[in-house]
Amino acid sequence: MEKREPFFWLTISSSVVILAFIVLPLFDMVTAPSASMLRETLKDRDVLRSIWLSMYASGTAALISFVFGTPLAYLLARTHFRGKRLIESIIDLPIVIPHPVVGIAILSVAGKNHWIGQILGDLGIRIMGSVTGIITVLVFVGLPFYINTVKDGFESISPRLENVSRSLGASMAGTFFRITFPLAWRSIIIGLIMCTARAISEFGAVVIVAYHPMIAPVMIYERFEAYGLKYSQPVAVWLVLVCLFLFLVLRVLTLRKAKES
Amino acid sequence: MIRLEDLNVSLLNFNLRDIHLTIAENEFFALMGPTGAGKTVLLEAIAGLVPVKSGRIFFGEREVTGLPPERRGIGIVYQDHALFPHQTVLQNITYGLHFHKAQKAEAQDRQEHLIGLLQLSHLLHRLPTHLSGGEKQRVALARALMVAPEVLLLDEPLSALDPNFREEVRDALKELHKTSKATFLMVTHDFSDALFLAERAAVMNQGRLEQIGVTEEIFRRPASLFAAEFVGMKNIFPATFEDARAIVGDLEIELEGPVEESKRYVSIRPEDVPISRESVSTNGSIPLKAEIRRVVDHGFYLSIAVNTGGVTFQSVMPKSMLLDRDPKDWQEVYVHLRPSNLHTF
């Protein structure tokens, strides 16, 4: 057998360490609560409500990202102009800003002393302590993940396909819906998954804008603070399981569709 | 017909300047030039995919300068085929019919004609990924011609193909041109493709058209140093001219007739420089005593460098003409320059 260099064993051992570092805590947490405790937690209406709210708010945030982010992603993928880098950096800002700062920033715009806040107030829209507020924050943190993924997807489609479609008589819109969108929809789905995943995990920004109604991460934190590790674990397990299930279903669906086409 | 009037295009790092060009109805025209000359930019400007800074574009009597691509009546075929990967061959071919509903019966005839001519009937329900390069390009041609465009734009349609597919698509193109009413404009960096397909051609360099004319004529009589080098003229010498003679260094070369003083170069194609061991004077060629400098074997032909009077000529000779004798052993040879083959510019 070929003799390996020590460097090879170094790469293998560090890989093992990293994998263990990720898998061990998760595995331990998921297996820590007993089955009866998990069942008990599922009967808790507050837990169900918070997990549902997390799903609902994150899903809505992804949908909003889809509606507003898709055209922007397309624009960034297809055009070159001075200042494009700047716009791309602005879109990446929510990734690098500390999460509580995001919450504070949004509240300062939505407050009574700000004209936007006053308009929202007149329209009867409340950000502080509302589902609207939670969704607003989640869109803020999730958008970059959606836009970047979908932009890459659009970029991987040759503009020549669109040129040919235009030459054959299709308008810009016709071309987008007949050619670009059908070819990009897989990256759009992946973008939605990325955005939802990011939104579900948000805690710091949400807790500032809306402690109540409680999303799952806030509830997990509260249970941990009030009752300790043991009582927060079952809620965490359920949140993780529901998320994994949803993403798995989406992935399987998209993979199967991709094979068919 | 395509008419370009004083066209200027300005992109981020590229400019097309003062393009004047008229291509006749149903002509096959080749736009030639090296990579980066601006051929594709001009093609895309004609297609309406690149904004025009100034100047006008006409198809026949119709001005299309400001029109979006979908209202120009064009077809585009790209080097990389650009087939819609999520649609079958048939869906690709009939894509344009979604937007040309008026001409249905006619379209059916055209579809059968194109599928027959391009031999696509056995491929109709396949996806593009499973096709060979030649098949893909045939589908792209059928798709573009399906909407009966006034102008067919071909962007290096043969460059990405393997040699055997290349010939097949090249023949198909020639056949399509015969049976179609469209004006064909092909961008290419390959001179032999242009010579085979195009009646007329233009040589482009750094965003300008250097020479426009009959393809054969550009090949024989390039008008500039750039065009001469581009069409494969190997023997280009700066010269001074006296009456009907060109003087290159110490060598005096007889020409057909007197040339204008403004000319600066004399040239001759390497295949017009035959070499033999005997001094023979046929068809008015003038034998010059020469010595062989270098012989490179290219398989079917040899390229030979010979020196006469301090000037080195490149010659290309088919092996069959040398009757398998090895010119490397020859001490003394003669080159034969026919005045009618000598070109000045």
Predicted ipTM of the assembly: 0.84
Instruction: Calculate Rg over the CA atoms of chain A.
Output: 22
Between CA B336 and CA B333 the distance in angstroms is 10
Cβ-based contacts under 8 A for chains A and B: 70
Q: Which of A78, A80, A161, A164 to mutate to test the interface with B (most CBs of B within 10 A)?
A: A164
Domain B233-344 has CATH 2.30.30.30: no
Confidence class of residue B277 from pLDDT cuts 50, 70 and 90?
A: confident
Would residue A208 be called left, alpha or beta, if left means φ above 0 and alpha means ψ between -120 and 50 degrees?
alpha
Rounded to 5 degrees, φ, ψ at B189 are -110, 5
- A78 in reach of chain B (CB within 8 A): no
For residue B116, give every residue at least 6 positions away whose Cβ sits within 8 Å of its Cβ, in sequence order, or none: none
Would residue A146 be called left, alpha or beta, if left means φ above 0 and alpha means ψ between -120 and 50 degrees?
alpha
CA B270 from chain centre, in angstroms, equals 19
Would residue A201 be called left, alpha or beta, if left means φ above 0 and alpha means ψ between -120 and 50 degrees?
alpha
- Angle value at C-alpha A150, between A145 and A156, nearest 5 degrees: 135
Name the packing angle between helices A99-110 and A131-155 (round to 10°): 120
B70, A179: Cβ pair inside 8 Å?
Answer: no
The better pLDDT of the pair B286, A24 is held by A24
Judge whether residue B163 has pLDDT over 50: yes
B76, A167: Cβ pair inside 8 Å?
Answer: yes
Residue window 33-52, chain B: list those with CB within 8 Å of chain A: 44, 47-49
Q: Average pLDDT over chain A, rounded to whole?
A: 92
Between CA B72 and CA A66 the distance in angstroms is 33
Q: Which residues of B touch A172 (CB under 8 A)?
A: 68
- How is residue A214 written in tokens? 């409680």
- Give the residue from B38, B32, B41 showing the smallest Cα distance to B202: B32
Predicted local distance difference test score (pLDDT) of residue A259: 57
- pLDDT tens-digit profile of A156-203? 999 999 999 999 999 999 999 999 999 999 899 989 999 999 999 999
CA A248 from chain centre, in angstroms, equals 15
Residue window 56-95, chain B: list those with CB within 8 Å of chain A: 68-70, 72, 74-76, 78, 80, 82, 84-86, 95
Judge whether residue B335 has pLDDT over 80: yes
- A164 in reach of chain B (CB within 8 A): yes
Judge whether residue B225 has pLDDT over 50: yes
Kindly give the residue spans of alpha helices, DSSP state H, lying in chain B: 39-47, 89-93, 104-117, 133-145, 163-179, 191-197, 215-220, 225-230
Residue boundaries of the structural domains of chain B = 2-228, 233-344
B78, A164: Cβ pair inside 8 Å?
Answer: yes
- A174 in reach of chain B (CB within 8 A): yes
Using a pLDDT cut of 90, give the percent of chain B over it: 53
A182, B86: Cβ pair inside 8 Å?
Answer: yes
Predicted local distance difference test score (pLDDT) of residue A261: 47
The string of DSSP codes covering B18-36 is EEEEEE-TT-EEEEE--TT
For residue A163, give every residue at least 6 positions away whose Cβ sits within 8 Å of its Cβ, in sequence order, or none: B44, B47, B49, B69, B76, B78, B82
Judge whether residue B71 has pLDDT over 90: yes
**Architecture of domain B2-228 in this structure:** 3-Layer(aba) Sandwich (3.40)
- pLDDT tens-digit profile of A131-162? 999 999 999 999 999 999 999 999 999 999 99
Q: Determine the average pLDDT of the residues in B239-261.
A: 85
Between CA B52 and CA B58 the distance in angstroms is 13
Using a pLDDT cut of 70, give the percent of chain A over it: 97
Nearest CA distance, B295 vs chain A (angstrom): 45
The better pLDDT of the pair A255, B78 is held by B78
Q: Average pLDDT over chain B, rounded to whole?
A: 89
Q: Determine the average pLDDT of the residues in B267-294.
A: 82
Predicted local distance difference test score (pLDDT) of residue B184: 97
- A169 in reach of chain B (CB within 8 A): yes
Instruction: Calculate Rg over the CA atoms of chain B.
Output: 24
Nearest CA distance, B48 vs chain A (angstrom): 9
Closest CA in chain B for residue A171: B70
Closest CA in chain B for residue A183: B86
Predicted local distance difference test score (pLDDT) of residue A257: 60
- pLDDT tens-digit profile of B86-145? 999 999 999 999 998 767 788 899 999 999 999 999 999 999 999 999 999 999 999 999
Q: Determine the average pLDDT of the residues in A91-104.
A: 94
Q: Which residues of A touch B93 (CB under 8 A)?
A: none
Q: Determine the average pLDDT of the residues in B71-81.
A: 94
- Say if strands B286-297 and B245-248 run parallel, antiparallel, or are unpaired: unpaired
B99, A182: Cβ pair inside 8 Å?
Answer: no
CATH annotation of A36-156+188-260: 1.10.3720.10
Between CA A37 and CA A41 the distance in angstroms is 6
Please report, as a single letter, which amino acid is at residue A19. L
Out of A161, A169, A261, the one facing B147 most closely (by C-beta) is A169
Out of B12, B82, B100, the one facing A160 most closely (by C-beta) is B82
Judge whether residue A56 has pLDDT over 70: yes
Predicted local distance difference test score (pLDDT) of residue B19: 94
- Angle value at C-alpha A41, between A37 and A44, nearest 5 degrees: 150
A183, B86: Cβ pair inside 8 Å?
Answer: yes
A163, B76: Cβ pair inside 8 Å?
Answer: yes
Of A39-43, A166-170, B70-74, B76-80, the one with minimum mean pLDDT is A39-43
Q: Determine the average pLDDT of the residues in A29-57.
A: 91
Residue window 181-200, chain A: list those with CB within 8 Å of chain B: 182-183
- pLDDT tens-digit profile of B3-60? 999 999 998 778 899 999 999 999 999 999 988 889 999 999 999 999 999 999 999 9
B80, A166: Cβ pair inside 8 Å?
Answer: no
Between CA B335 and CA A180 the distance in angstroms is 61
State the CB neighbour count (10 A cutoff) for residue A21: 9
Nearest CA distance, B2 vs chain A (angstrom): 16
Q: What is the pTM of this model?
A: 0.83
Q: Report the run of H or E that residue B224 belongs to, with start and end.
A: none
Is residue A54 classed exposed, middle or buried when 0-12, 13-18 and 19+ CB atoms within 10 A define those classes?
buried
**Are B72 and A171 within 8 A, CB to CB?**
no
Between CA B101 and CA B107 the distance in angstroms is 9
The better pLDDT of the pair A239, B300 is held by A239
Q: Which residues of A touch B75 (CB under 8 A)?
A: 167-168
B86, A261: Cβ pair inside 8 Å?
Answer: yes
Confidence class of residue A260 from pLDDT cuts 50, 70 and 90?
A: low
